[in-house]
Amino acid sequence: MQRFKNVLITGANAGLGRETARQLATQPQVETIYLACRNLEKATAAKIDLTNQTGRDIFEIVIMDVADPDSVRRGVQEITTPLDAVVLNAGGSGGKSPNNLTKDGVTTIFAANVLGHTVLVEELLAKQLITSTVVYSSSEAARGIPRMGVAKPDVEDASVEEFTAIADGSKFGPKADPLAIYGTIKLVGTLWMAAMARKHPHIRFVSMSPGGTAGTNGMDDLPFLKKFMFKYIGGSIMPLFGMMHSVEKGARRYLDALESISFESGHFYASHAGSPTGPVVDQVTIEPGFSSVSAQDNAYRAVQQFA
């Protein structure tokens, strides 16, 4: 079991990120939790809530928009204490215009879920500010959740060109399902993590899905019908059928990935086939493609072009 003193969490002002900060703060050895957030007002409110809830004055705000590599670089400059661990949690459906291109030439949803996090980790490594573990928030959508109507990502040859087309959105037609786009993007982030695990064997890189989690804001920007189904119908009915769990359980998965070395570097853990909740399993047992070294390296190369 690993225990950490200094941890940074992206997207820490809400949902799974904030709950992860709360659970970590209950551990007496934790000295600093960096709340990496894009909005100072929301970050300050979260810091006050967390301090009151936990009785611990250990939360530091770092302003960082993970959809903007320059903002990420500026944020890293504010970190002076080496971090034991980082939770790459920010992301989700990509806001109101997820398919718009950023100044870096990728879609906003790709930037928020993948590009900014890759810049963050590379910057931390270059400045020797990360010493132990990186956990990436992946999703069961990265291998499909047929029971919830989320198709398996449609990847043809896993080439650099194909991953580039996922990053800049040109792979997807105008009518593409937003959840399929989201899942395909989380797949690229997950493959990038596996490539990083091989390049940096002294750091543990674990992709972990928090699982279908009710009560977060994660579905807010989906088109109306999807949001209605997942957030309102899903939030109340799906838990009854074991298809969604609480934010406490979702965040607990991140902590498990952080703390237990039984979660191996370069691997992706999420719910077993057929369900987005319950015990996690190594996803290579469901989708062998996750272990493809060429797919991992091609995802890495595709992302590097934009960073």
Ligand X SMILES: NC(=O)c1ccc[n+]([C@@H]2O[C@H](COP(=O)([O-])OP(=O)(O)OC[C@H]3O[C@@H](n4cnc5c(N)ncnc54)[C@H](OP(=O)(O)O)[C@@H]3O)[C@@H](O)[C@H]2O)c1
Binding site for ligand X (CB under 6 A): 10-11, 13-17, 37-39, 42, 65-67, 89-92, 112, 137, 139, 209-210, 212-213, 216-218
Q: Is the Cβ–Cβ distance between 124 and 185 less than 8 Å?
A: no
**Smallest gap, in angstroms, from Cβ of residue 141 to ligand X?**
7
**Smallest gap, in angstroms, from Cβ of residue 155 to ligand X?**
19
**Smallest gap, in angstroms, from Cβ of residue 40 to ligand X?**
10
**Smallest gap, in angstroms, from Cβ of residue 237 to ligand X?**
15
**Which tokens go with 15?**
């949902």
Return the number of the residue (159 or 177) whose C-beta is nearest ligand X: 177
Return the number of the residue (160 or 179) whose C-beta is nearest ligand X: 179
**Smallest gap, in angstroms, from Cβ of residue 117 to ligand X?**
9
Q: Is the Cβ–Cβ distance between 26 and 54 less than 8 Å?
A: yes
CB within 8 Å of 87: residues ≥ 6 apart = 7, 8, 9, 10, 17, 20, 135, 137, 254, 258
The count of C-alpha atoms lying within 13 angstroms of the C-alpha of 257, restricted to the half-sphere facing its C-beta, is: 36
Return the number of the residue (160 or 207) whose C-beta is nearest ligand X: 207
Return the number of the residue (137 or 296) whose C-beta is nearest ligand X: 137
Return the number of the residue (218 or 266) whose C-beta is nearest ligand X: 218
**Smallest gap, in angstroms, from Cβ of residue 293 to ligand X?**
25
**Smallest gap, in angstroms, from Cβ of residue 143 to ligand X?**
12
Q: Is the Cβ–Cβ distance between 107 and 169 less than 8 Å?
A: yes
Return the number of the residue (271 or 297) whose C-beta is nearest ligand X: 271
**Which tokens go with 162?**
């194909």
**Which tokens go with 10?**
């992206």
Residue 74's CB is within 10 A of a number of other CB atoms, namely 14
Return the number of the residue (15 or 266) whose C-beta is nearest ligand X: 15
Q: CA torsion 226→229→234→236, rounded to 10°? A: 140
Q: Report which of 50, 81, 77 is spatially closest to residue 62, judged by C-alpha positions.
A: 77
**Which tokens go with 45?**
């409110």
DSSP, collapsed to helix, strand or coil, labels residue 84 as: strand
**Termini Cα distance of the chain:** 34
* d(C-alpha 183, C-alpha 18), whole Å: 23
**Which tokens go with 128?**
């020797």
**Smallest gap, in angstroms, from Cβ of residue 140 to ligand X?**
7
Return the number of the residue (169 or 297) whose C-beta is nearest ligand X: 169
* d(C-alpha 87, C-alpha 26), whole Å: 17
